[in-house]
């Protein structure tokens, strides 16, 4: 081991002092620590130069100032920002910080109070004066220092002009946008008001149109009803040669006009939501059997067989609207079937019942299945030169099904036939099987029946008399309630057998009177069970509901002779039942 020298021992016995380190010690000590001191001084000089370079080349302005005096130090960036040639010029000319640097002379005092509270301000926005008399918007970070009893601030300044302009522009854009939104809102409110007025006007126009259509339908159906009855009277006579052919042509023309008018009125009422379903529970057979009886003669005249598969199920629907759907299905099946069979049947599907009409016609292509429910869309049929529909039947079916919330189903195969179905809710339980229907009544079953007809239209009265007298009925006619009562009193004086057995009354009479008043007056005189039926062109739900409440069957105008005969037979059977 190396032995410690005497000099080492001397060092331990006499360690270096602070004076030795700073050069005030002995000559030997100064020589020992001078390199270290020189290195530290060099580092300090480099650090000072670095901070000086950063100070002079900083992008943001930097200055040091006395709170009660002027600028003590400034960098070139602050000089450029405020329009001075050099930092020295800033120091020389800005002697009063409050009045020569800040635009608002009282702002420095406010800054001092904020600095005393927190010692620093970050992102403080203000405006500084420029040498040329202008101003510049800046954002400042400010520090407060206490030096020799005075208050010194050091500030870092960033030019805020572009950012402020952008913010002001954004604020301006927001204000313009708000103004445009307000203007558009006002325009929309005005437009909404115009739309509301237009809607109200359209609603009033629709109401007026509905009233006009109701009045027009009554006025149009009155002469059509009279013509239909007269033509039906002539058709039942054995006319020879060309006369029979001409009457048949007139009959077809009247049927076409009647169907078109009826369909147009129904479409209008459905589109105006004027049709309200009257839902009830009833036997399915109660509508299937009359339909089959009504259309059996039509099928026979076309050389087709109409078959009905009886049902014992109960359903929930509107019997009148559902019957209209099924009648359209059957009419189309008979029209588009050249030979074979049309079947009206039922399939039980749990809580639903599918009422189906099958035919053996030419069928429909898949691409055409949706089109057939459009207005005025027609398919070619085999009845060349005869009356054709106008293409509204299935459009009406589609609208009625939506009103009833029933699903319509169509299946078809070209060359094999089609199936149209309507699906309705089923009611639990069954009814007794219906007896086989009588599809037609004997021609002489009405002979000698005393019928009272009340109508305010002379043409209808003459036509009704001609048809009923041809059926063998004994007619009495009246145009109002008073005349009807007078006839009953007169006939009653001649004997009970001379009194009418049943009443057919038009609903709308003169001077706002109605056929219901006639029914009530006659039942008061002849008994509450006196059979009567209403004839009307009014198809509104309220009117039909009124008839149901009175227990009155209804015949819509134009009256179909087959339905009239069936109704008279039914009423006559009521009078013959023992009480």
CATH of the domain at 141: 3.30.450.20
Whether 4 is in a domain gets the answer: no
Here the CATH number for the domain that contains residue 401 is 3.30.565.10
- Residue 29's pLDDT band, with cuts at 50, 70 and 90, is low
Last residue of a domain, one of 397, 430, 463: 430
Q: Which pLDDT score is estimated for 491?
A: 60
416 and 449 part of one domain: no
Cα–chain center distance at 277:
21
pLDDT over threshold 50, residue 435: no
Q: Name the residue range of residue 366's domain.
A: 275-430
Percent of the chain at pLDDT > 70 equals 78
Answer whether residue 100 shows pLDDT above 60. yes
**Per-residue confidence (pLDDT) for residue 71, from 0 to 100:** 92
Count Cβ atoms within 10 A of the Cβ of residue 152 and give its class: 0-12 exposed, 13-18 middle, 19 or more buried.
Answer: middle
Contact 485, 515 (CB under 8 A): no
Whether 174 and 148 share a structural domain: no
pLDDT of residue 442: 47
Mean per-residue pLDDT over the chain, rounded: 79
The 10s digit of each residue's pLDDT in 44-65 is: 887 777 877 877 888 889 999 9
Residues 6+ apart with CB under 8 A from 117: none
pLDDT bracket for residue 85 (50, 70, 90): very high
Whether residues 91 and 131 share a domain: the answer is: yes
pTM above 0.85, yes or no: no
Helix pair 393-404, 319-335: axis angle to 10 deg:
150
Q: pLDDT value at position 86?
A: 92
* 422-448 CB burial, b ≥16 within 10 A, e <16: bbbbbbeeeeeebeebebebeeeebee
Whether residue 414 is contained in a domain is answered as yes
Distance, in Å, from the CA atom of 121 to the CA atom of 55, rounded to the nearest integer, reads 20
What average pLDDT score do residues 238-250 get? 74
Q: Which of 400, 395, 399, 252 is nearest to 332 (CA)?
A: 395
* DSSP secondary structure code for residue 366 in this structure: G
Is residue 258 in a domain?
A: no
- When divided into structural domains, the chain yields a total of 3
Q: Is residue 244 part of a domain?
A: no
- Averaged pLDDT for residues 487-510: 75
Range name among 10-14, 212-216, 331-335, 560-564 with the lowest pLDDT average: 10-14
Pairing of β 120-129 and β 135-147:
antiparallel
In a domain, 14, yes or no: no
Instruction: Give the domain CATH number at 185.
Output: 3.40.50.2300
Higher per-residue pLDDT: 438 or 340: 340
Same domain? 322 vs 370: yes
319 lies in the same domain as 369: yes
Residues 345 and 419: beta-carbon distance below 8 Å: no
Q: Is the pLDDT of residue 437 over 50?
A: no
Confidence grade of residue 373 (pLDDT, cut at 50, 70, 90) = low
Give 223's pLDDT tier (boundaries 50, 70, 90). confident
283 and 406 in a single domain? The answer is yes
Residue 27 covered by a domain = no
424 lies in the same domain as 531: no
Whether the per-residue pLDDT at 84 is higher than 90: the answer is yes
């Amino acid at each position: 081991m190396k032995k410690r020298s005497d000099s080492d021992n001397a060092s331990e016995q006499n360690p270096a002092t602070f004076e030795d380190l700073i050069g005030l010690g002995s000559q030997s000590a100064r020589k020992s620590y001078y390199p270290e001191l020189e290195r530290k001084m060099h580092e300090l000089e480099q650090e000072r130069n670095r901070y000086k370079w950063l100070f002079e080349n900083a992008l943001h302005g930097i200055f040091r100032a006395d709170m009660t005096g002027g600028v003590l130090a400034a960098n070139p960036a602050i000089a450029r920002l405020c329009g001075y040639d050099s930092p020295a010029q800033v120091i020389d000319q800005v002697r009063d910080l409050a009045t020569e640097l800040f635009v608002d002379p009282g702002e420095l005092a406010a800054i001092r109070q904020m600095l005393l509270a927190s010692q620093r301000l970050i992102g403080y926005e203000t405006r500084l004066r420029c040498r040329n008399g202008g101003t510049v918007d800046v954002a400042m970070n400010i520090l407060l220092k206490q030096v020799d009893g005075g208050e010194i601030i050091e500030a870092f300044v960033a030019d805020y002009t572009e950012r402020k302009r952008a913010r002001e522009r954004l604020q301006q854009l927001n204000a313009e946008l708000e103004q445009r939104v307000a203007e558009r809102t006002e325009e929309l409110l005005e437009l909404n008001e115009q739309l509301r007025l237009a809607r109200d006007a359209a609603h009033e126009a629709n109401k007026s149109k509905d009233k006009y259509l109701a009045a027009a339908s009554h006025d149009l159906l009155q002469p059509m009803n009279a013509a239909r009855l007269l033509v039906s009277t002539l058709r039942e006579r054995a006319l020879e040669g060309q006369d029979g052919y001409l009457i048949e042509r007139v009959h077809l023309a009247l049927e076409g006009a009647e169907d078109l008018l009826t369909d147009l009125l129904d479409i209008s009422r459905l589109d105006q939501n004027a049709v309200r379903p009257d839902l009830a529970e009833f036997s399915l057979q109660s509508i299937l059997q009359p339909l089959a009886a009504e259309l059996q003669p039509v099928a026979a005249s076309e050389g087709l067989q109409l078959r009905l598969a009886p049902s014992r199920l109960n359903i929930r629907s509107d019997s009148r609207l559902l019957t209209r759907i099924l009648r359209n299905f059957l009419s189309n099946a008979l029209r588009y079937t050249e030979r074979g069979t049309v079947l009206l049947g039922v399939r039980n599907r749990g809580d639903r019942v599918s009422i189906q009409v099958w035919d053996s016609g030419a069928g429909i292509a898949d691409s055409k299945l949706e089109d057939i429910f459009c207005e005025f869309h027609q398919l070619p049929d085999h009845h060349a030169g005869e009356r054709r529909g106008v293409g509204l039947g299935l459009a009406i079916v589609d609208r009625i099904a939506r009103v009833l919330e029933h699903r319509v189903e169509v299946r078809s195969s070209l060359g094999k036939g089609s199936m149209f179905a309507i699906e309705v809710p089923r009611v639990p339980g069954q009814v007794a099987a219906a007896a086989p229907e009588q599809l037609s009544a004997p021609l002489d079953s009405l002979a000698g029946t005393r019928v009272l007809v009340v109508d305010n239209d002379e043409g209808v009265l003459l036509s009704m008399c001609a048809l009923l007298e041809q059926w063998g009925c004994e007619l009495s006619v009246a145009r109002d309630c008073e005349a009807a009562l007078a006839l009953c009193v007169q006939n009653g004086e001649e004997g009970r057998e001379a009194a009418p057995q049943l009443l057919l009354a038009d609903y709308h009479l003169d001077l706002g009177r109605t056929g219901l008043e006639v029914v009530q007056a006659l039942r008061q005189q002849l008994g509450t069970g006196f059979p009567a039926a209403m004839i009307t062109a009014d198809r509104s739900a309220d009117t039909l509901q009124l008839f149901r409440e009175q227990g009155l069957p209804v015949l819509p105008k134009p009256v179909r002779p087959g339905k009239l005969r069936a109704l008279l037979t039914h009423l006559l059977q009521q009078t013959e039942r023992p009480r």
